[in-house]
């Protein structure tokens, strides 16, 4: 007769708890610095090279950012209005979720506005990187991004998004964010896997675009790229145009489709952990990116066809610079499967197309990328 198992229901429960605790501990990401959400660390709607840095770091250091966003109300909302909105949308205003809400509203209301820029992205920065100079490149490794409130919002309005003439009325949608299920819930039949990322990641723009460069359109410095794969495990390479690089981030998203067609993704508030690595003398013409599976080149322009052309040219230049293929070889490779073109976003004035080059085509190259898919 076989021996009776020692795994009683209580023992199994304890084992499961231990597994969960161990798994949580395994994915904790240590960091060197913490940038909280305060009026001093925030900036509204633009990039500036005169705002005092909120932090000075060395190359290789890791920074945690506590972001804000996902509010379903405007500035100056009272606690009673916030509570009524939460209740109407079925959001549990418990101790766990309330502090970030009050924190966000206080910071949003107390952060100074620049002349002529009353609103826009709710950003954090700048971060000063020691030794960074114009002509260098700042590598930003996205170690972890996690929503810090249990909901997100998006919507549509007449005159906005990719179909501005077809939207019949203003519409706003609230999504429940369930970290345990890794889902943003639309309704009983539809939910989206969480792919949290910060839509804005930027070095400070060149002088000709300052002193008040609005954060809406992306540019050669990065900015509001709204690239949906800019979450955990991705790397963004940004040209440096100012002393110290002066890095900005936020525009927190829980999930987004390519194109961001209604005008916004699922806006929320994220905690993001980034590592910054400075590459001296590495001059880039614009932002580039990398994931465990692809190299990514961005094309930006007010015209979508020209944005596509810019992305394709950037991809062919990348194949020439890094693998030695001339235009003709790279062009035919691209059409054979070396380059896939995706629409990044069509709603920020400057439109985005990104070219993805699969790493698997380089059959003799070892996988030296820093991130491993779990």
236 shares a domain with 323: no
**Domain residue limits at 89:** 30-284
User: Total domain count for the chain?
Assistant: 2
Cα–Cα nearest to 290, from 131, 69, 142: 142
Question: Are the CB atoms for 251 and 121 separated by under 8 Å?
Answer: yes
Asked if residue 19 is part of any domain, the answer here is: no
Looking at residue 75, its pLDDT comes to 78
Asked if residue 327 is part of any domain, the answer here is: yes
Asked if residue 374 is part of any domain, the answer here is: no
Question: Are the CB atoms for 351 and 302 separated by under 8 Å?
Answer: yes
Domain boundary among 254, 284, 314: 284
Domain boundary among 247, 265, 284: 284
Domain holding 95: CATH number? Answer: 2.60.120.580
Q: Which helix (H) or strand (E) holds 223?
A: strand 222-224
For residue range 25-59, list pLDDT tens digits in order: 346 899 999 999 999 999 999 999 999 999 999 99
CA distance 324 to 314: 14
For residue range 107-159, list pLDDT tens digits in order: 998 999 999 998 999 999 999 999 999 999 999 999 999 999 999 999 999 99
322 shares a domain with 183: no
321 shares a domain with 269: no
| pLDDT over 60 (residue 96) | no
101 shares a domain with 172: yes
Number of residues in the chain: 374
Asked if residue 371 is part of any domain, the answer here is: no
For residue range 234-278, list pLDDT tens digits in order: 999 999 999 999 999 999 999 999 999 999 999 999 999 999 999
280 shares a domain with 142: yes
361: which DSSP letter? Answer: G
311 shares a domain with 179: no
| pLDDT over 80 (residue 95) | no
For residue range 277-322, list pLDDT tens digits in order: 999 999 999 999 999 999 999 999 999 999 999 999 999 999 999 9
CA distance 264 to 172: 11
Average pLDDT in the 82-106 region? 77
Looking at residue 260, its pLDDT comes to 98
197 shares a domain with 58: yes
Looking at residue 6, its pLDDT comes to 37
Looking at residue 10, its pLDDT comes to 37
Asked if residue 342 is part of any domain, the answer here is: yes
Measure Cα distances from 246 to 45, 46, 195, 241 in Å: 16, 13, 26, 9
How confident is residue 24, by pLDDT bands cut at 50, 70 and 90? very low
Domain holding 297: CATH number? Answer: 3.10.28.20
**Average pLDDT of the residues of the chain:** 90
266 shares a domain with 167: yes
Average pLDDT in the 4-21 region? 34
Average pLDDT in the 185-190 region? 96
Domain boundary among 238, 258, 284: 284
257 shares a domain with 299: no
More confident residue, 4 or 32: 32
231: which DSSP letter? Answer: B
316 shares a domain with 268: no
319 shares a domain with 254: no
Collapsing DSSP to helix, strand or coil, 339 comes out as coil
Looking at residue 98, its pLDDT comes to 63
| pLDDT over 80 (residue 332) | yes
Of all residues in the chain, the percent with pLDDT exceeding 70 is 91
Looking at residue 114, its pLDDT comes to 93
Average pLDDT in the 188-196 region? 97
Average pLDDT in the 205-229 region? 97
Q: What's the alpha-carbon Rg for the chain, to the nearest Å?
A: 22
Asked if residue 6 is part of any domain, the answer here is: no
Asked if residue 22 is part of any domain, the answer here is: no
How confident is residue 84, by pLDDT bands cut at 50, 70 and 90? confident
Going by their DSSP bridges, the two strands 213-214 and 137-147 should be labelled as unpaired
Average pLDDT in the 6-28 region? 38
For residue range 349-371, list pLDDT tens digits in order: 999 999 999 999 999 999 999 99
Question: Are the CB atoms for 297 and 184 separated by under 8 Å?
Answer: no
Asked if residue 68 is part of any domain, the answer here is: yes
Looking at residue 93, its pLDDT comes to 64
334 shares a domain with 236: no
Average pLDDT in the 74-87 region? 82
Question: Are the CB atoms for 42 and 54 separated by under 8 Å?
Answer: no
Cα–Cα nearest to 55, from 252, 269, 270, 246: 246
């Amino acid at each position: 007769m076989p021996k009776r198992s020692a795994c009683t229901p209580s023992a199994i429960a304890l084992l499961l708890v231990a597994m969960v605790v161990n798994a949580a501990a395994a994915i904790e990401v240590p960091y060197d610095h913490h940038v909280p959400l305060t009026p001093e660390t925030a900036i509204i709607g633009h990039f500036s090279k005169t705002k005092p840095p909120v932090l000075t770091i060395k190359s290789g250091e890791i920074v945690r950012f506590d972001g804000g966003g996902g509010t379903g109300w405007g500035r100056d909302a009272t606690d009673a209005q916030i509570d009524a909105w939460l209740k109407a949308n079925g959001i549990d205003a418990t101790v766990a979720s309330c502090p970030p809400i009050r924190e966000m509203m206080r910071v949003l209301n107390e952060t100074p506005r620049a002349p002529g820029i009353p609103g826009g992205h709710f950003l954090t920065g700048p971060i000063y990187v020691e030794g960074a100079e114009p002509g260098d490149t700042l590598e930003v490794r996205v170690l972890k991004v996690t929503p810090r409130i249990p909901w997100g919002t998006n919507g549509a309005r007449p005159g906005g998004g990719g179909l501005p003439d077809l939207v019949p009325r203003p519409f706003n949608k609230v999504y429940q964010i369930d970290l345990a299920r890794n889902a943003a819930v639309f309704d009983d039949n539809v939910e989206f896997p969480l792919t949290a990322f910060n839509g804005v990641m930027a070095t400070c723009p060149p002088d000709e675009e300052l002193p008040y460069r609005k954060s809406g359109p992306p540019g050669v410095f990065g900015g509001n790229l709204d690239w949906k794969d800019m979450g955990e495990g991705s790397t963004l390479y940004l040209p440096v145009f100012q002393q110290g690089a002066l890095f900005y981030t936020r525009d927190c998203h829980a999930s987004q489709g390519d194109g961001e067609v209604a005008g916004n993704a699922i806006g929320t508030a994220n905690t993001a952990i980034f590592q910054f690595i400075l590459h001296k003398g590495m001059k880039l013409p614009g932002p580039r990116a990398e994931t465990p599976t692809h190299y990514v080149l961005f094309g930006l322009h007010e015209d979508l066809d020209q944005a596509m052309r810019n992305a394709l040219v950037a991809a062919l230049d990348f194949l020439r610079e890094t693998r030695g293929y001339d235009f003709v070889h790279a062009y035919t490779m691209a059409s054979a499967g070396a380059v896939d073109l995706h629409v990044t976003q069509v709603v920020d004035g400057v439109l985005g197309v990104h070219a993805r080059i699969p790493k698997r085509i380089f059959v003799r190259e070892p996988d030296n990328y820093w991130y491993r898919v779990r």
